[in-house]
Chain A
Amino acid sequence: MAGIVCRTVNRIVSSQASCISSVVAVRNSHWFTSMLSLKTSVPLRAEPKKKKKVDPRREIMMKERLKKKLKRLEKVPPELIPIEDFITSAKSFDETRIREAPELSFEESERRAHLLKEWSRYKRTQHQMEMDVIQEALEAQRQALDELKLESEELYKAAFSPDTDVFPFQHEGPSYTPPNTNYEAPEGKFNDITRVYTQ
């Protein structure tokens, strides 16, 4: 019992001594505050930073600079879509594809020249006839409208007003053979290889 008391007293004394020594150690360094206060580290206890007033302005300036750079990049005109029809493909310049041009005899070239001239004459008369027919039809229509005007103004105005229903006008033109009744076209599939460009 006494031994136990002694030991505890010794422990207390030794702890007190260590406390004292630790207290002494605390007072000497800044790393340790008193045991009684809250445990805090040095950076937490440091003096508060002085905020520079220029900082928010600097951030705004940075953002503006980035925006200007983006605008400059966007201002570049978009790349033009190539028109496929205007580009001669490399196949046209292939030398293995040149056809041997046949030599035309004198009679053949004469015949061709004569035929071309006859054709131009034929086409000219055809064009003349077409123009005459069209002029005749227009004249007939003009006279009809004049007569209608003599008759009544209202009807004339109704005839003169534009017709909105006639356009878009669709009509199947003449083909080589007439349409086959009861014809079922076979279903076919195809691969569409057209190139689609986006700007």
Chain B
Amino acid sequence: MAAPFTRVSRPLWRIITTTTSNGGVRNVSYTRQQWSAQNVKTAGAAASPWALHGAVCVQRLPVVSQDRSPIEEKFMELMQQMELERSLLADHELKLLDDAARMSRKQEEDYDSDEEEDYKDKEIVTAQDLEDIWEQKLKEFQPALRTQGVNQKDVSSSERCLTDSLILLVKKDIGSQKLWLLPQIQWQMGETLRQTAERALASLPGADLKATFLGNAPCGFYKYKYPKDIQKEGSVGAKVFFFKAVLSSHKHLPLEKNSFAWVKKDELQDFLKPEYLKQVRRFIMAL
């Protein structure tokens, strides 16, 4: 679908800036490694003041293709037209032309059926008849509707907005408030953070969700400090590490309305706190 007239090529300045930015990033991480190594040596076996949490970002990927934007529609039509103009006649079209020619010959007065070469006594199924048969067969099939009957605003159903990817949010008590969050749970000794995230998904009350986790590495993190009154010696705040997962099975029972929500990326701001949202938005790709 590339335009034949212009070639989209990365301009030179962009290549230079990306290389310099990569160089800058490398420097930062190197100094960080040095600092962390020193930190480990001085701290020794002291536990870090941050409580670790593992969270999971479960995505229900789109089930149905997105609608085309106006320019995409126009371009699609243009491409189809151009391809048709530059193509050769297919077998079916040749048959159509032959049938039309034969029909016109039959209408003439001096029509002699003995002059017909191939079709003397056989039953003729014209190409037009075939087309009609095929159309009939297509009409017999009823596909499912693109916009299903589910209300698009009903946030607890995972069947809403089939064209976009949805993310699961859970309402949880943190301290004194009830907040909407990605499902998270505290890390326990002896397990990796990914196992923590899997446990977070499995421990959701009333939800039987099967998801495939994409890799061992976390995709993002968020750290927050506890309010001053809860802060004790040794616990300053918590760090939450997010892991990405893709929802595998499609049939779900509807979840409780007030504790679960399937949300698109642009609807996240209605549910999440600003600081939290800022970190979460970075790794959720809704293109």
Residues of A within 8 A of B (CB): 91-92, 94, 96-99, 101-102, 112-113, 115-120, 122-124, 127, 129-130, 133-134, 136-137, 139-153, 155, 158-163, 166, 169, 171, 174-181
Contact = CB atoms under 8 A, between A and B. Distances in A.
B241 to A, nearest CB: 6
Contacts of B103: none
Contact of A145 (B88, B148, B217): B217
A41 B126 CA distance: 90
Nearest to B247: A171
B64 A176 contact: yes
B192 A99 contact: no
B36 A119 contact: no
Contacts of A176: 64-65, 143, 146
Contacts of B148: 178
15 contacts: A115-B78, A116-B3, A116-B6, A127-B8, A140-B219, A140-B220, A144-B221, A144-B242, A146-B32, A148-B218, A150-B39, A155-B193, A178-B63, A178-B145, A179-B144
Contacts of A94: 88
B239 A141 contact: no
A5 to B, nearest CB: 108
A175 to B, nearest CB: 7
Given A124-B8, A147-B223, A178-B148, A152 B48 contact: yes
A20 B238 CA distance: 139
Contact of A159 (B39, B144, B163, B194): B194
Interface of B: 2-6, 8, 25, 29, 32-33, 36, 39-40, 48, 50, 52, 61-66, 71, 74-75, 78, 82, 85, 87-89, 94, 143-146, 148, 162-163, 192-194, 212-221, 223, 239, 241-242, 246, 250, 279, 282-283, 285, 287
A139 B285 CA distance: 13
B217 A166 contact: no
B169 to A, nearest CB: 18
A120 B3 contact: yes
A110 to B, nearest CB: 13
A99 B89 contact: yes
Contacts of B40: 153
A158 B5 contact: no
Contacts of A175: 63-65
Contacts of B216: 158-163
B8 to A, nearest CB: 5
Nearest to A147: B221
Contact of A141 (B146, B217, B223): B217
B6 A117 contact: yes
Contacts of B94: 96-97
B26 to A, nearest CB: 11
Contacts of A142: 25, 29
Mostly, the A contact residues are: helix
Contacts of A141: 217-220, 283
A99 B285 contact: no
Contacts of B279: 140
A99 B3 contact: no
10 interchain residue pairs of minimum CB distance: A140-B282, A158-B192, A144-B221, A177-B143, A97-B88, A120-B3, A97-B89, A140-B220, A116-B3, A120-B6
B145 A177 contact: yes
A104 B220 CA distance: 54
Given A119-B75, A162-B216, A163-B216, A177 B8 contact: no
Nearest to B71: A122
Contacts of A96: 89, 94
A147 B157 CA distance: 35
B71 to A, nearest CB: 6
A144 B194 CA distance: 13
A122 B282 CA distance: 24
A31 B65 CA distance: 107
Nearest to B28: A146
Contacts of B218: 141, 144-145, 148, 159
A148 B241 contact: yes
A152 B32 CA distance: 14
A139 B52 contact: no
A116 to B, nearest CB: 4
A166 B32 contact: no
